């Protein structure tokens, strides 16, 4: 060790030895804390408190005139949650008029050659998206009657849920694209 290191080591050792200070009251503090009566909840009280029904929550009204669920008026975190609910609680939405806004997406299944058209809904951080398929009213032909892929669109249509290859899907039937 160098002489400089020795000079630093001596005061540091003295500091470590005195850092704890007076601990004579420590045992009496621990004993006093252990002897004070602490209320103990019974299992019955805990079960009663946790089995109570949750409080009623008032959801935001997502309707807008003739539109039953207008996703265009919801904030990005709520619109994604609403889309999730539309997929997993589809019976509650069947036949309702839905309006959505987002980028236009197109997909053609290479095996079946079936075409799918959708409006993409992103969450608040834009890391996740949920597509809502739509079927235009009338005899629409791609690409003539559709916007370019990625174009921001607003679509209104009648909600329908269906199952394909064992997976649930949602779509808007008789849809119109607003410009």
CATH for 74: 2.40.50.140
Q: What pLDDT does 15 receive?
A: 41
Residue 20 in domain: no
Domain contains 166:
yes
Mean pLDDT of 13-31: 53
Judge whether 104 lies within some domain: yes
Buried b (16+ CB within 10 A) or exposed e, 53-91: eeeeeeeeebeeeebbbbbbbbeeebbbebbeebeeebe
Higher pLDDT: 2 or 168? It is 168
Find the mean pLDDT for residues 122-143. Answer: 85
Residue 173 near residue 138 (C-beta atoms within 8 A): no
Whether the predicted pLDDT of 74 surpasses 70? yes
Phi, psi of 51 (to 5 degrees): -95, 0
Of the candidates 127, 125, 128, 68, the residue with the CA atom closest to the CA atom of residue 100: 68
134 Cβ neighbours under 8 A, 6+ residues apart: 117, 118, 119, 155, 157, 171, 172, 173, 175
Residue 33 lies in a domain: no
Domain of 168, in residue numbers = 69-178
All residues at 6 or more sequence positions from 170 whose CB lies less than 8 Å from its CB, including other chains: 86, 87, 90, 93, 132, 133, 159, 160, 161, 162
pLDDT at 13: 44
Q: pTM of the prediction?
A: 0.63
- What is the model's pLDDT at position 179? 64
Q: What is d(CA 105, CA 150) in angstroms, rounded to the nearest whole number?
A: 6
Is residue 9 in a domain? no
Neighbour tally for 6: CB within 10 Å: 9
Measure Cα distances from 155 to 28, 73, 113, 134 in Å: 73, 13, 24, 8
Q: What's the confidence (pLDDT) of residue 2?
A: 53
Q: Residue 53: inside a domain, yes or no?
A: no
Asked if residue 81 has pLDDT above 90, the reply is no
> What gap in Å lies between CA 68 and CA 96, rounded to an integer?
6
- The number of domains in the chain is 1
- Answer whether residue 83 is part of any domain: yes
């Amino acid at each position: 060790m160098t002489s400089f290191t020795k000079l630093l080591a001596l005061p540091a050792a003295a500091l470590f030895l005195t850092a704890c200070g007076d601990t004579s009251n420590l045992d009496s503090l621990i004993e006093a804390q252990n002897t004070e009566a602490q209320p103990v909840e019974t299992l019955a009280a805990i079960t009663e408190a946790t089995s109570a029904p949750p409080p009623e929550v008032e959801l935001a009204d997502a309707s807008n005139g003739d539109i039953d669920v207008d996703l265009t008026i919801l904030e990005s975190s709520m619109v994604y949650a609403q889309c999730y609910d539309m997929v997993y609680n589809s019976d509650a939405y069947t036949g309702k008029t839905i309006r959505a806004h987002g980028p236009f997406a197109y997909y053609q299944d290479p095996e079946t050659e079936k075409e799918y058209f959708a409006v993409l809904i992103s969450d608040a951080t834009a890391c996740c998206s949920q597509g809502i398929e739509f079927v235009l009213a009338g005899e629409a032909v791609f690409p003539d009657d559709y916007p370019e892929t990625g174009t921001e669109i607003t679509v209104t249509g009648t909600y329908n849920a269906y199952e394909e290859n064992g997976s649930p899907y949602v779509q808007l039937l008789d849809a119109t694209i607003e410009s």
